[in-house]
Structure 1
Amino acid sequence: MNQELNNPRGPAKRLAVYNHKGGVGKTTLTVNLASAIAALGHNVLLVDSDPQCNLTSYLIEDSVVNDLLDQSDSDEGQTIWSALKPVVEATGLPRSIPPIAVSQNLSLIPGDVRLAEFEAELTSFWGDCFQRKLRGFRGTSALSSVVSAAVEQTGAT
């Protein structure tokens, strides 16, 4: 049986660049990898899941970033926080937000400083998972759900 049919995450490959220490080149590495893969003809989706929003600030004009952050807490918000807010506040499921086209074959789900609120809840979400509470499962899978929806919108591979 085709393994992709059973994978709710879809067929897109996912790559995470992580290092807790700042100033080690995570943003630069991420942008260069994504650009190189996009140049090969693949649709690439970048997800800025760092509350510092360096990836978003690197790729999008300051005035656009400011507008995104000003609206992120509203129903019209278009950042990663806007998508995750219903889960953090226990008001619903994660929202789908449209990725921003950065260049040919390259899109971005913009970061948000308020993502720190989601990070603060992760420990609680994991504890709820161990207690088999739905809130925990929704919380720990929320980011993946947002990314999966964006992958479908962009055709990221």
Structure 2
Amino acid sequence: MLRDELTQVRSIVDQVKKMTIDVGSARSSLNEMTMKQNNWTLGAYCSRYCATVTQHHGLEDASVFPHLRAAETTLAPVLDRLEQEHVVIHDVIEAVDRALVAFVATPDDFSQLDEAVNALTDTLLSHLSYEEEQLVEPLARVGFYPGQA
């Protein structure tokens, strides 16, 4: 789901660049996605996408990762890295919205918008790949919470 929504974000930004939709419509489209944030930081207008990513990471940080730490102590470095990446990803998502807002002032300059969307793509896809590579097997063995396996 996160990958599908990322594709939608990139499509919306491409439409802004091609001037087939305006920035206000782009921001509205982002807000209509299946993901919704609780606006826990100011300036976060990519709210739906942020929320699901935040919710996904919050669930992992509060429940799944502590269970894995207890069940598989050797995963501590992997879990530490994933938790650190959660913070970075949130900041990168917010940068996309800031770039959309900045684009209003400089509609002929796509550089900041391209940079923000490319950073989101690279950061999120790398994170998801690493997470799947490292955790699919341990989660299959021990489950997502105590007593599940």
TM (norm. structure 1) is: 0.26
Q: Kindly indicate which of the two structures has a greater share of residues assigned to strand.
A: 1
Q: Kindly indicate which of the two structures has a greater share of residues assigned to helix.
A: 2
Q: Which has more radius of gyration? A: 2
TM (norm. structure 2) is: 0.27
